[in-house]
Structure 1
Amino acid sequence: MNSSKAIFYMIFSVIAFALMNAVVKYLNDFSAYQIVFFRSIGTLLFTIPLILKHQIPILGNNKKWLLIRGVAGVISLTCFFQSLNYLTLGTAVSLRYTSPIFASIFAFFFLKEKIKPMQWLLFLVAFIGVLTIKGFGGNINSIGFILAILSAIFLGVIFVLIRKIGDSENPLVIINYFMVMAFVFGGVMSVNQWKSPNFIEWLLLLSLGVFGYVGQLYLTKAFQTHETNVIAPLKYLEVVFMIMIGAFWFGEIYNLWTLLGILLIMFSLIYNVYLKRKKVNI
Structure 2
Amino acid sequence: MHKKAVVYMSLSALAFALLNVFVKKLGDFNVYQIVFFRSIGTLFFTIPLLIKNKIPFLGNKRFLLITRGLVGFTAMTLFFMAIKHLSMGSAVSIRYISPIFAAFFALFLLKEKIKLLQWLCFAIAFLGVVLLKGFDNNINNIGLLFAVVSAIFTGLVPIIIRKIGSSDHPIVIVNYFMIISAIIGGVMCIANWSTPKGIEWLLLLSLGVYGYFGQLYMTKALQTTEINQVAPLKYIEVIFTIIIGAIWFQETYSLLSLFAILLIVSGLILNVIIKQSKKLG
Interval of TM-score (by shorter of Structure 1 and Structure 2): 0.7 to 0.9
Amino acid at match of 2:195: S
1:142-157 aligned within 5 A: 142-157=141-156
User: Does the aligned pair in 1 maintain the 2:79–2:91 contact within 8 Å?
Assistant: yes
Output aligned runs, 1:172-251, within 5 Å. Answer: 172-217=171-216, 236-251=235-250
8 A contact 2:93–2:265 mirrored in 1: no
Q: Report the alpha carbon displacement of residue 229 of structure 1 after superposing the two structures with TM.
A: 11
Aligned 8 A contact 1:175 1:217 in 2: no
Aligned to 2:36: 37
Do the aligned partners of 2:232 and 2:272 also contact (CA within 8 Å) in 1?
Answer: no
- Closer, same or farther in 2 for the Cα pair 1:101/1:22, shift >3 Å? same
Instruction: Rate the CA distance shift 1:266–1:83 in 2: closer, same or farther, 3 A.
Output: closer
CA deviation profile, 1:154-198 (whole Å, cap 9, x unmatched): 111112212332333211111100110111111111112111212
| TM-aligned CA distance change 1:134 to 1:91, over 3 Å | farther
Query: Is structure 2 residue 55 aligned with structure 1 residue 56?
Result: yes
Normalising by structure 1, we get a TM-score of 0.83
- Cα pair distance change 1:268/1:151, threshold 3 Å: closer
Query: Cα offset for 1:132?
Result: 3.8
Q: Which runs of 5+ in 2 are unaligned?
A: none
Could you tell me which amino acid in structure 1 is paired with residue 258 of structure 2? L
Q: For each residue in 1:13-65, what CA deviation from the matched residue of structure 2 results, as whole angstroms up to 9, or x when unmatched?
A: 44322220111111111110110010011000000011001000111121111
Q: Is the 8 A contact 1:100 1:156 kept in 2?
A: yes
Contact 2:71–2:156 (CA<8 Å) still a contact in 1? yes
Offset from partner CA, 1:63-87 (integer Å, 9 cap, x none): 1110100000111112222334444
Q: Percent identity?
A: 57
Match of 2:266 in 1: 267
CA distance in 2, matches of 1:130, 1:10: 25
Note closer, same or farther for the CA distance 1:197–1:113 as it changes in structure 2 (3 Å cut): same
Matches within 5 A, 1:10-29: 13-29=12-28
| TM-superposed deviation, 1:141 | 4.0
| 2:88 match | 89
**1:39-188 equivalences in 2 (<5 Å):** 39-133=38-132, 135=134, 138=137, 140-188=139-187
How far, CA to CA, are the matches of 1:222 and 1:67 in structure 2?
27
Bigger drift between 200-209 and 256-265 goes to 256-265
Equivalent residue letter for 1:73: G
Distance 1:279 1:80, change over 3 A: closer
Using the TM superposition, name which of 25-34 and 113-122 deviates more. 113-122
Aligned to 1:258: 257
Pairwise CA RMSD: 3.5
**Contact 1:10-1:235 at 8 Å conserved across structures:** yes
Write the distance in 2 (CA, Å) between the matches of 1:10 and 1:108: 28
- C-alpha distance in structure 2 between counterparts of 1:154 and 1:124, whole Å: 19
Q: Give the C-alpha shift of residue 260 in structure 1.
A: 1.9
SS of structure 1 residue aligned to 2:191 = helix
Between the aligned partners of 1:150 and 1:54, the Cα distance in structure 2 is 36
**Would the aligned equivalents of 1:175 and 1:216 in 2 still touch at CA under 8 Å?**
no
| 1:129 to 1:144, Cα distance in 2 relative to 1, 3 A | closer
Paired residue secondary structure (1:38): helix
- Greater alpha carbon shift after TM alignment, 24-33 vs 124-133: 124-133
- Alpha carbons of structure 1 residues 139 and 269: separation in structure 2 relative to 1, 3 Å: closer
* C-alpha contact (below 8 Å) 1:90/1:134 kept by paired residues: no
Using the TM superposition, give the Cα deviation of residue 118 of structure 1 relative to its aligned residue in structure 2, in angstroms. 0.8
- Whole-Å Cα distance in 2 between the matches of residues 7 and 64 of structure 1? 36
Letter in 1 for 2:97: T
Partner SS, residue 254 of structure 1: coil
**Structure 1, unpaired ranges of 5+:** none
| Aligned amino acid, residue 37 of structure 1 | F
